[in-house]
Amino acid sequence: MLAEKERYAVWQTMQELHAQGLIYLKSGNISERTASGHVAIKPSGASYERMEVEDIVIVDLQGQVVDGQLKPSSETPMHTLIYRECPEVNAVVHTHAPHALVLASLGLEIPFFCNENLLVGGPVPVTEYACAGTEAIGQAVLRALFGPPRVKAALIRNHGAISVGATLEEATLAAQAVEVLARAYHAALQIGEPTVLTEAQIEELCAVYS
C-alpha cells in the first residue's frame, strides 16, 4: 500500500476530530502531502465510523488517483491547488465545525481577541463565497490565508473552516483553535461587543509566547 504512514496519519486525525465533533456525518476532509509528493486524502462520501486506513486515497497534485479503490473527496481540487501553490504546506484540514459554520454563514471574521488567535497566526478571515467542490473555492481560500496578514486558518463563506500547516499536527491544532475561537466569539457576541486586542497588545502577547 502506497504512503502507508500518511494514510494512517490522515485516518487517525479524522477519527480524533470526529470524536471531538469538528467533523461529522460525511462532511469535512483532511489531507497530507506524502513523501513522494502525492496527496493522501479522505475518500468522497465515506462514513467516519466505517472508514478504514486503506480507504484513504492517494492522488497526484492534479487530483488524479494514483492509488486507492474509492473516489477522492469532492474537495480534492481545493486541496491540490493549495499544495501546488504553497510548497511549504504539507497538510490541509477542512471541517464543518458547528460554531465556525455559524460565523462563516454570517460572514463574520474572528478578530484577534485572545491568546488562542496565536495558534492560527492572527485573526481568522472569511473567504468570499465560491461553490463547494470547485477550484474557485481553493482560490478564495488562498486569498484569505495569504491576506495580509498571512494566517494558518480561514472561515469558508457558507461552508465551514480550513486550516493549513507545515505538518498535520500544526494544521489540526489550528483547526481545533478555530472552533474554540468561533465558540467563544459567538458567545461573546450574544452579550455585547468583544474587546479586540490592539496592535501593541498583540505584539506584547506574541513576544511572550515567541
Answer whether 0.85 is exceeded by the pTM. yes
Q: Has residue 147 got a pLDDT over 90?
A: no
- 116 given a catalytic annotation: no
Q: Which of 75, 116, 170, 179 is catalytic?
A: 75
Task: List the strands of the sheet with 153-156, edge to edge.
Answer: 65-67, 57-59, 39-41, 29-33, 91-95, 160-165, 153-156
Q: Has residue 69 got a pLDDT over 90?
A: yes
pLDDT of residue 1: 83
- Can you name the residues that pair with 32 across neighbouring β-strands? 40, 91
pLDDT of residue 207: 95
Q: Which residue has the higher pLDDT, 172 or 209?
A: 172
Domains of the chain by start residue, with CATH: 4-209 (3.40.225.10)
pLDDT of residue 210: 84
Once rounded to an integer, what is the mean pLDDT over residues 31-60?
96
